[in-house]
Amino acid sequence: MAISYQHRPVMLKETVEFLKPAPGQVFVDATLGGGGHAEALLAAGGQVIAFDQDRDALAAAKARLAGHENIEFIHDNFSNLKKHIKAPVDGILFDLGVSSYQLDESSRGFSLQQAGPLDMRMNKAAQLTAADIVNAYSVDELARLFKEYGEERFAGRISRAICARREKQPIATTLELKEIVEKAIPTWKKRESVTRVFQALRIAVNQELDSLQLALDAAVDLLKPGGRIVVISYHSLEDRIVKHTFRELAKNAILHLLTKKPQLPGEAEAAENPRSRSAKLRAAEKL
Ligand SMILES: C[S@@+](CC[C@H](N)C(=O)[O-])C[C@H]1O[C@@H](n2cnc3c(N)ncnc32)[C@H](O)[C@@H]1O
């Protein structure tokens, strides 16, 4: 079956050009997802150690990559890279955020287009769901969350609307939350605010920023001299962490930056794959 454009790996060509896979080299794919990037590394003769905290993603990628022997699958958060990898590696890839498979599966609660439970856990074994946060945080805690993790200017209004609604009954679904946010703010930019609220909840549920910071430091430690790291991020909070970490490590002569500014997808990819439009790729080499 042909892969639909939504399931094509983002910035694949650029990723492969930066990682320069050669036969026998070892790569970590910290975010296996649908397995598209891993497949390209395997096709170039590389060995891949693949992480995903989502068991469903691992199972689907395992099926897709069934013909390949040089891949090891690890179900864990990428903040635990060092628990599993003991020898230095040639390259590490992070393609952050949720996969198109997760977005398409309404029961996971990531999509603001489809009705689903307010879940948003990438790892279904984790305790905290988006519904827990929406129904239990105080008005001030919610406002802080939407401001910090969503950079949402109507954070206060949205939080008050959520708290008023949940007094009647708990908020259980993605579409209920979407409707509350849309009603709480002025007519223009409703879509952007809903997106930012969903982003903030997803970041909080999965502790995405803390995991990323821990993982970047570990990843750079694990690289061989000359080894390369590529990070594709999809929102400014992630990109800021990558930019600052890389800059700091470059200042300390640990990394050489291969991208002074983030690379963006080419016009053709952006036109074809909406998901790629917010992608920013940064790459660096270990000194
Ligand atoms: C954008 S997708 C990766 C797509 C993949 N590169 C491909 O070619 O299909 C991101 C994946 O990383 C996983 N993920 C996100 N954060 C993670 C973390 N902290 N630890 C492990 N996996 C994570 C998600 O579950 C998701 O499957």
Domains and CATH numbers, the chain: 5-101+208-286 (3.40.50.150), 108-206 (1.10.150.170)
Q: What is the pLDDT of residue 2?
A: 40
% of the chain exceeding 70 in pLDDT? 98
- Mean pLDDT within 88-95: 98
Q: What is the pLDDT of residue 7?
A: 67
Question: Is the distance from the beta carbon of residue 54 to the nearest atom of ligand 1 less than 6 Å?
Answer: yes
β-strand partners of 49: 28, 72
Q: What is the pTM of this model?
A: 0.96
pLDDT tens digit sequence for 177-219: 999 999 999 877 788 999 999 999 999 999 999 999 999 999 9
User: Residue 39 CA: which ligand 1 atom is closest?
Assistant: 8
pLDDT tens digit sequence for 210-228: 999 999 999 999 999 999 9
Computed from CA positions of residues 108, 114, 118, 120, in that sequence, does the dihedral angle turn out positive or negative? positive
Q: Is the pLDDT of residue 237 over 90?
A: yes
101 against 88, higher pLDDT: 88
Q: What is the pLDDT of residue 15?
A: 98
Say how far apart CA 175 and CA 150 lie, in whole Å.
18
Give, using CA atoms, the residue closest to atom 14 of ligand 1: 31
Question: Is the distance from the beta carbon of residue 110 to the nearest atom of ligand 1 less than 6 Å?
Answer: no
Give, using CA atoms, the residue closest to atom 25 of ligand 1: 54
pLDDT tens digit sequence for 113-168: 899 999 999 999 999 999 999 999 999 999 999 999 999 999 999 999 999 999 99
Banded model confidence at residue 88, pLDDT cuts 50, 70, 90: very high
Question: Is the distance from the beta carbon of residue 58 to the nearest atom of ligand 1 less than 6 Å?
Answer: no
